[in-house]
Structure 1
Amino acid sequence: MTTKAIHRRYVAFSDAHYAGNLVDGAYALKLFGDVGTNLAIEMDGHEGLFAGYSSVEFLAPIRGGDVVEAEAQLVKKGNRSRTVDFELRVICRGSDDTGRSAVLESPLVAVRARGTAVIPAESK
């Protein structure tokens, strides 16, 4: 059974809304929704219904021009509930003042969260 899903995405400069090309935290939560849906489909054959986050930590900035990796990892599986840990990592940092981009030696953890999804009874 699949217990992890990963998506990689280029962060467009048009997604940056703040000084320094910073991207808002909702960007990470949207990616968590996408990768969490991917995990639910692979595990249960259904998109599931997201109930909410029990924790969210914003640890480092995400900027336009970055390449990020969003991961959803199953932590606990109940009859219909699924507890999932999410992590968003910056794996490439977008261009700096010199116009150069860089692959990071170690991914930079930008956001962590834990959430719960529910599989509708009729889809079990």
Structure 2
Amino acid sequence: MSTPSVQGTPAGRPAVVGMGVTHARYVPFSHAHYAGNLVDGAYSLALFGDVATELCIRTDGDEGLFASYSDVQFLAPVRAGDCLEVRARLVRVGSRSREMEFEVLVTARGADDPSRGVSAADVLEPPVLATRARGTVVVPPPA
């Protein structure tokens, strides 16, 4: 049985304040740069670029270009082995600009108790807000 081909379509929804995108991600140990398996803050910023890109594709049919951050806050560490949720939400829609709020939440983390085994991990309830930011993306004018 063959898989039907899917042809891409332009964005199906107009950009509306409140729209959002969430990605889930595991942080590989290859991204640890510091003692304690800490990951640098740029890792979160790259993830914000990913969710912003998907949100722009969904609303404008274009990946958009990140123009600026107006605020970035690193609130808790991100470590190799963490499971993350990365969120983007539209907070302002201009004719070509899209202002978004971003969050990185740590939803699971390796256990600190070595007696449980080297691969033991815990779901974090509630998740830990590690990074938040606000930024602006620019999209091309409508055709």
Which TM-score applies when normalising by structure 2? Answer: 0.82
Structure 1, unmatched stretches of 5+, are none
1:65 touches 1:95 (CA, 8 Å); kept in 2? no
Separation in structure 1 between the aligned mates of residue 113 and residue 124 of structure 2, nearest angstrom = 17
Aligned partner of 2:28 in structure 1 is 12
1:89 touches 1:111 (CA, 8 Å); kept in 2? yes
Residues 1:73 and 2:93 aligned together = no
Corresponding residue SS for 1:63: coil
How far 1:49 sits from its partner (Å)?
A: 1.0
Residues 1:28 and 2:44 aligned together = yes
Separation in structure 1 between the aligned mates of residue 127 and residue 38 of structure 2, nearest angstrom = 18
Aligned partner of 1:41 in structure 2 is 57
Separation in structure 2 between the aligned mates of residue 92 and residue 55 of structure 1, nearest angstrom = 26
Residues 1:116 and 2:136 aligned together = yes
How far 1:40 sits from its partner (Å)?
A: 0.5
Residues 1:61 and 2:77 aligned together = yes
Q: Which moved more, 1:94-103 or 1:105-114?
A: 94-103
Aligned partner of 2:121 in structure 1 is 101
Structure 2, unmatched stretches of 5+, are 1-12
Aligned partner of 1:84 in structure 2 is 100
- Deviating beyond 4 angstroms after TM superposition, the runs of 4 or more aligned structure 1 residues are none
Q: Which one has the largest radius of gyration?
A: 2
Separation in structure 1 between the aligned mates of residue 79 and residue 44 of structure 2, nearest angstrom = 11
* Percentage of pairs with the same residue: 58
How far 1:97 sits from its partner (Å)?
A: 4.6
Paired residue total: 123
User: Which protein has the bigger strand share?
Assistant: 1
Q: Which moved more, 1:71-80 or 1:98-107?
A: 98-107
- Two-structure CA RMSD over aligned residues (Å): 1.2
